[in-house]
């Protein structure tokens, strides 16, 4: 199904005059519904342009009429497991916030409060109709994208970090790492939370709108329906985009101009995405702004409704034409109507101890709808039997790439029996947890449990860790700001509960962020490598906490993804020796410090020792293992450092001059450049925002042809703004950052 695009023309405001109205709704034929917007040609007023939409709403349309016609029909689909996205788009002051949020009076309430009211009503009805067998829970998350940074609106502004919350791609969806989610019992509960959260949103008065939204606001309403141990989850997203602004008309001051530039840029990227999708381009520039990454137009499944808000006045003429152009093309975007999978609740799992040794990696690409995905042994559940849908034992589809426009069968997994609880950690799982009642099912009816850990769970663990680090950083920043004054209770608690060694230094954080960025980009190309990188990241974090056992555990896991990686083997060896030494139980080849390694591994470790100071000259896959390079190895200083640097430079220029083979590091650098991903390129050494932006602009100008990719460092050096030193620094940085 295509994105449904509807236009809404707002009424005249005070001081606006009838004579200035130039935009009107029309029908293709008399007696048919309004589906056309008409507007004069600015160059020749006697000519009129027509733009067709799925529906057009006139100035007199009430909030209730719009909701009943456009949103209410999709509530049923939401409860059937489809995600629903509604977003308001348009120039500043055209009525987006009015449409989405509306006023406080009952009749003025916008799409969002009406949506929630309907969700609660339907939830209650389902409970009643099933005699309480099915329960419906509603949870909210709400955030804004301000100056291309993501901030949680459910958290007080004091808790914001300057860089905002990071984004990550997870199973084909973009998620905000560390975002809070609040359960909302009923409409009152929601209203209280929503009003409070809206106070945290950045709005300001501009010449064009007294209460202009300076950010894009995204509300996610997660609906969870539970019947016995069967869980169905779906999400309604209501997005109030900030409006584009013509700054020749705004008379914006410096701050407003900065905001306006960010707003206009993200909306420009959105229009580029829409154009690229409607042209059928292979490359869609989603990643050039956070808003487009989150909106994922045409990538997300379910139902998408775009509400184009229009002001009828002449003063908006050119802006209105521009937004009519963009949104009329959005109609061509296809969205796969795929419902979310039903899953069965599972007890929490552990990734340590017994379970960890049995760890198995899913052999699949990232799973679609991962928030519903649990790995486990499939079995036929009575409830599933009753359903018409065929049972799928394992989640086997991804929303990447072309897919048939049909709903896949529901995936069914079975909960673990309660007698496994002794081997399970008490750590709460992010996944649905069983009730006493579901745990109490007879063991005979259940398949033997398989202790495994899925990519989704590893992802969840990484996210949790990153969220912890970010929280910790926020607390440290807050404490620093408080300077000599005594820290507030909450800050003191947070800081004091974190052990000193787990306080991440800036340098380490920088490395972690670089690694995260790397994980993010790699996940699009190479899931196995990403999983390995995640293990390394977790190892690194464990090490930072002083948890050598944990670090060793994750390094060992990483070895499965980077087999034979010499530096990694070296780290494992050192850690094993350290731990064995600490416990006095050293075994195996203790004289060499090699514990329980096979012959190849030992040989590799010897190689590590031998070449410890020549790492920069090595070509080996998976230099990611270099991430852990600090405490165990003495830093190389003075003359040695100089000679390393010279060697690296020599290596770079051997490649540039075409004398040597292309190294993995060169390929990695070229991959980053050719990704045209601003965030990734900015992460390269020696690349500031401007240089990165200029490069991306230049590459985009060259088009999407294969011939326009940068094939060598020599080519890279020749690009505008590059040069030898820049290329050399970026090349070197790939090792020193990781
Ligand atoms: N359908 C409508 N009925 C009555 N008033 C409306 C309607 N649509 C918009 N308005 C009024 O128009 C003004 C601008 O609307 P609003 O703030 O919703 O615009 P916006 O598109 O969200 O602007 P921005 O992008 O700057 O945030 C407000 O005073 C709002 O009350």
First to last CA, the chain: 44
Q: Which atom of ligand 1 is nearest to the CA of 206?
A: 26
Does residue 476 lie within any of the structural domains? no
Rounded to the nearest angstrom, the distance between the alpha carbon of 114 and the centre of ligand 1 is 18
- For residues 677 and 287, the answer to whether their CB atoms sit within 8 Å is yes
- DSSP character for 208? S
Question: Position of tokens 């259940």?
Answer: 446
Query: 360, exposed or middle or buried, with CB in 10 Å at 0-12, 13-18, 19+?
Result: exposed
Ligand 1 atom 9, closest CA: 95
Helix or strand (DSSP H, E) at 141: strand 134-146
Flag whether 633 is in a domain: no
Answer yes or no: is 482 within a domain.
Answer: no
513-552 burial, b for 16+ CB within 10 Å, e for fewer?
bbbbbbbbbbbeeebebbbbbbbbbbbbbbbbbebbebbb
CB 139, CB 182: distance < 8 Å: yes
Is the CB of 95 within 6 Å of ligand 1?
A: yes
Whether 213 lines ligand 1, by a CB cut-off of 6 Å, is: yes
Residue 241 alpha carbon, nearest atom of ligand 1: 25
Nearest residue (by CA) to ligand 1, atom 14, is 93
Residue 287 tokens read as 């990643």
By CB atoms closer than 10 A (0-12, 13-18, 19+), residue 1 is exposed
Looking from the CA of 716 toward its CB, the CA atoms found within 13 Å total 30
User: What residue numbers does the annotated binding site cover?
Assistant: 90-97
Tell me the C-alpha distance between 157 and 612, whole Å: 47
Atom of ligand 1 at shortest range from CA of 214? 27
- Is 674 contained in some domain? yes
Q: What's the rounded Cα separation, in Å, for the pair 511 and 373?
A: 30
> In the block, which residue shows the tokens 């160059």?
43
302 lines ligand 1 (CB under 6 A): no
- Any atom of ligand 1 within 6 Å of the Cβ of 98: yes
Q: Which of 572, 605, 627 is the last residue of a domain?
A: 627
Q: 94 in ligand 1 pocket by Cβ < 6 Å?
A: yes
- Please tell me what DSSP assigns to residue 177: T
CB 568 within 8 A of CB 539: no
Does 132 lie in the same domain as 108? yes
Residue 679 sits in a domain whose CATH number is: 1.10.150
Q: What separation in angstroms does the CA of 587 have from each of 466, 535, 570, 590, 593? A: 35, 26, 17, 6, 9
63 C-beta closer than 6 A to ligand 1: no
- Which residue's CA lies nearest to atom 16 of ligand 1? 95
666 touches ligand 1 (CB under 6 Å): no
Ligand 1 centroid – CA 269 distance (Å): 24
User: Is the Cα torsion angle 593, 597, 603, 605 positive or negative in sign?
Assistant: negative
pLDDT at position 78, please? Answer: 95
Between the CA of 54 and the centroid of ligand 1 the distance, in Å, is 22
Looking at residue 68, what is its pLDDT?
A: 97
Residue 463 Cα to ligand 1 middle (Å): 38
Give the number of domains in the chain. Answer: 4
The whole-angstrom distance between residue 333's C-alpha and the CA centroid of its chain comes to: 21
Separation CA 314–CA 712 (nearest Å): 52
330, 349, 378 — which closes off a domain? 330
Instruction: Quote the CA–CA distance of 614 and 460 in Å, as a whole number.
Output: 36
From the CB of 201, is ligand 1 less than 6 Å away?
no
Q: Ligand 1 center to residue 11 CA distance, Å?
A: 9
Q: Is 10 in the pocket of ligand 1 (CB under 6 A)?
A: yes
> Based on the domain organization, do 261 and 379 belong to the same domain?
no
State the Cα torsion 38-43-46-51 to the nearest 10°.
-20
Q: Which residue is closest in CA terms to ligand 1's atom 23?
A: 93
Q: Are residues 544 and 664 in the same domain?
A: no
The CA-based diameter of the chain, rounded to the nearest angstrom, is 93
Kindly give the distance from the C-alpha atom of residue 202 to the centroid of ligand 1, in angstroms, as a whole number: 16
Range of the domain at 63: 4-330
Residue 312, both tokens? 């009828």
| 90 CB near ligand 1 (under 6 Å) | yes
Please state, in angstroms and rounded to a whole number, the distance separating the CA atoms of residues 165 and 679: 14
Q: At what angle do helices 506-525 and 664-675 cross, to 10 degrees?
A: 80
Domain boundary at 577, 607, 627, which?
627
Residue 311 in contact with ligand 1 by CB distance below 6 A: no
212 CB near ligand 1 (under 6 Å): yes
Asked if 387 and 253 sit in the same domain, the reply is no
Q: Is 209 in the pocket of ligand 1 (CB under 6 A)?
A: yes
Instruction: Indicate the annotated binding residues for ATP.
Output: 90-97
Q: Angle 506-525/724-737 helices, nearest 10 degrees?
A: 100
Atom of ligand 1 nearest to the CA of 61: 1
Is the C-beta atom of 11 inside 6 A of ligand 1? yes
Is 335 inside any structural domain?
no
Is 310 close to ligand 1, i.e. is its CB under 6 Å away?
Answer: no
How far is the centre of ligand 1, averaged over its atoms, from the C-alpha of 99 (Å)?
8
Do 319 and 390 sit in the same domain of this protein? no
**pLDDT block averages, 10 residues each, the chain of length 738:** 90 92 94 94 91 95 97 95 93 94 92 97 95 95 91 88 88 87 94 89 60 84 94 94 68 68 84 85 87 82 91 93 88 68 57 38 35 32 38 30 36 34 34 36 36 50 60 55 37 32 51 58 51 75 77 80 74 84 47 40 46 32 34 39 49 49 80 86 84 84 71 84 84 63
Pocket test residue of 57, 89, 95, 250 for ligand 1, highest count of atoms within 8 A of CB: 95
80 lies in the same domain as 140: yes
d(CA 367, CA 370): 6
Looking at the fold, whether 128 and 226 belong to one and the same domain comes out as: yes
Segments of 28-76 assigned E as strands:
34-41, 44-52, 55-57
Counting ligand 1 atoms within 8 A of each CB, the residue from 15, 97, 262 with the most, and so the one to mutate, is 97
- Asked if 206 and 192 count as a contact pair (C-beta separation under 8 A), the reply is no
695 and 724 both lie in a single domain: yes
- Note whether residue 683 is domain-resident: yes
Cβ 428 vs Cβ 351: under 8 Å: no
488 found inside a domain: no
Query: Would you say the CB of residue 13 lies under 6 angstroms from ligand 1?
Result: yes
Distance 243 CA to ligand 1 centre (A): 11
Instruction: Decide whether any atom of ligand 1 lies within 6 Å of the 243 Cβ.
Output: yes
Same domain, 306 and 385: no
**Ligand 1 pocket, 97 CB below 6 A?**
yes
Whether residues 250 and 115 share a domain: the answer is yes
Which 8-state DSSP code applies to residue 169? Answer: E
Whether residue 441 contacts residue 240, with contact meaning beta carbons closer than 8 Å, is answered with no
pTM over 0.90: no
Query: Is residue 315 domain-shared with residue 354, that is, in the same domain?
Result: no
CA 365 to centroid of ligand 1, rounded, Å: 44
CB 140 within 8 A of CB 281: no
Ligand 1 centroid, distance to 310 Cα (angstroms): 10
Query: Do residue 69 and residue 165 come from a single domain?
Result: yes
pLDDT of residue 441: 37
**Position 485 in a domain:** no
Token code pair at residue 426: 């008490």
205 CA to centre of ligand 1 in angstroms? 13
**Nearest-angstrom CA–CA distance, 35 and 470:** 48
Atom of ligand 1 nearest to the CA of 98: 18
Q: Is the CB of 323 under 6 A from ligand 1?
A: no
If one residue of 93, 264, 267, 319 were mutated to test the ligand 1 pocket, choosing by the most ligand atoms within 8 A of its CB, it would be 93
Q: Which atom of ligand 1 is nearest to the CA of 309?
A: 21
ipTM above 0.85 for this complex:
yes
Between CA 86 and CA 450 the distance in angstroms is 40
Question: Does the beta carbon of 35 sit less than 6 angstroms from any atom of ligand 1?
Answer: no
């Amino acid at each position: 199904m295509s994105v449904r695009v509807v236009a809404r023309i707002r009424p005249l405001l005070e001081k606006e005059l009838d004579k200035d109205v130039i935009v009107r709704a029309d029908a293709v034929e008399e007696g048919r519904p309004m589906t056309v917007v008409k507007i004069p040609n600015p160059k020749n007023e006697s000519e009129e342009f027509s733009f067709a939409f799925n529906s057009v709403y006139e100035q007199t349309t009430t909030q209730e009429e719009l909701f009943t016609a456009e949103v209410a029909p999709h509530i049923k689909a939401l409860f059937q497991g489809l995600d629903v996205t509604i977003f308001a788009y348009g120039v500043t002051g055209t009525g987006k916030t009015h449409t989405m949020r509306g006023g406080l009076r009952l009749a003025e309430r916008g799409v969002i409060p009406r949506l929630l009211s309907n969700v609660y009503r339907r939830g209650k009805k389902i409970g009643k109709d099933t005699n309480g067998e099915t329960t419906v829970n509603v949870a909210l998350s709400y955030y804004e994208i301000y100056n291309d940074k993501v901030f949680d609106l459910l958290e007080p502004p004091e808790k914001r970090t300057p860089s905002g919350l990071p984004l990550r791609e997870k199973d084909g969806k973009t998620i905000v790492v560390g975002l809070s989610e609040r359960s909302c019992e009923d409409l009152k509960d929601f209203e209280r939370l929503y009003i409070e959260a809206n106070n945290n949103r950045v709005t300001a008065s501009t010449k064009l709108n007294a209460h202009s939204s300076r950010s894009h606001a995204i509300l996610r309403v997660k609906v969870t329906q539970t019947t016995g141990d069967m869980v169905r989850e779906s999400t309604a997203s209501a997005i109030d985009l900030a409006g584009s602004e013509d700054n020749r008309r705004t008379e914006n001051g410096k701050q407003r101009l900065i905001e306006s530039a960010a707003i206009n840029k993200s909306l420009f990227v959105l229009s580029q995405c829409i154009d690229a999708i409607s042209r059928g381009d292979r490359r869609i520039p989603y990643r050039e702004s956070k808003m487009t990454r989150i909106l994922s137009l045409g990538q997300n499944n379910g139902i998408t409704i775009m509400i184009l808000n229009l002001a009828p006045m002449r003063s908006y003429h050119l802006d209105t034409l521009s937004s009519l152009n963009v949104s009329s093309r959005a109609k061509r975007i296809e969205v796969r109507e795929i419902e979310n999978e039903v899953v069965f609740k599972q007890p929490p799992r552990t990734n340590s101890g017994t379970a960890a040794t049995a760890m198995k990696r899913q052999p699949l690409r990232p799973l679609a709808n991962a928030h519903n995905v649990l790995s486990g042994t499939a079995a036929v559940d009575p409830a599933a039997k009753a359903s018409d849908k065929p049972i799928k034992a394992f989640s086997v589809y991804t929303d990447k790439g072309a897919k048939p426009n049909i709903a896949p069968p529901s995936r069914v997994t079975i909960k673990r029996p309660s007698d496994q609880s002794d081997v399970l950690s008490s750590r709460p799982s992010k996944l649905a947890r069983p009730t006493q009642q579901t745990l109490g099912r007879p063991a005979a009816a259940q398949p033997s449990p398989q202790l495994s850990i899925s990519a989704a769970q590893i992802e969840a663990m990484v996210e949790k860790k990153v969220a912890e680090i970010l929280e910790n950083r926020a607390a440290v920043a807050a404490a620093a700001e408080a300077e000599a004054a005594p820290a507030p209770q909450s800050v003191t608690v947070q800081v004091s509960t974190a052990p000193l060694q787990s306080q991440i230094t800036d340098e380490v954080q920088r490395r972690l962020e670089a690694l995260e960025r790397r994980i993010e980009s790699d996940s699009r190309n190479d899931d196995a490598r990403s999983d390995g990188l995640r293990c390394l990241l977790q190892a690194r974090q464990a090490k930072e906490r002083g948890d050598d056992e944990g670090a060793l555990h994750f390094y060992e896991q990483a070895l499965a993804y980077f087999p034979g990686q010499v530096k990694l083997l070296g780290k494992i060896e050192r850690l094993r020796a350290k731990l064995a030494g600490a416990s006095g139980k050293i075994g195996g080849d203790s004289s060499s410090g090699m514990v329980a390694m096979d012959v190849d591994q030992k040989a590799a470790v010897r190689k590590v020792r031998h070449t410890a100071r020549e790492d920069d000259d090595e070509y080996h896959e998976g230099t990611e293992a270099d991430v852990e390079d600090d405490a165990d190895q003495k830093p190389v200083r003075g003359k040695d450092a100089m000679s390393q640097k010279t060697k690296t430079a020599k290596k770079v220029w051997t490649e540039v001059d075409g004398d040597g083979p292309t190294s993995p590091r060169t390929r990695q650098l070229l991959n980053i450049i050719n990704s045209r991903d601003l965030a990734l390129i900015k992460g390269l050494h020696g690349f500031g925002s401007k240089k990165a932006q200029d490069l991306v602009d230049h590459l985009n100008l060259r088009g999407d042809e294969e011939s326009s990719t940068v094939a060598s460092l020599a080519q890279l050096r020749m690009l505008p703004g590059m040069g030898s030193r820049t290329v050399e620094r970026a090349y070197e940085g790939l090792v020193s950052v990781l």
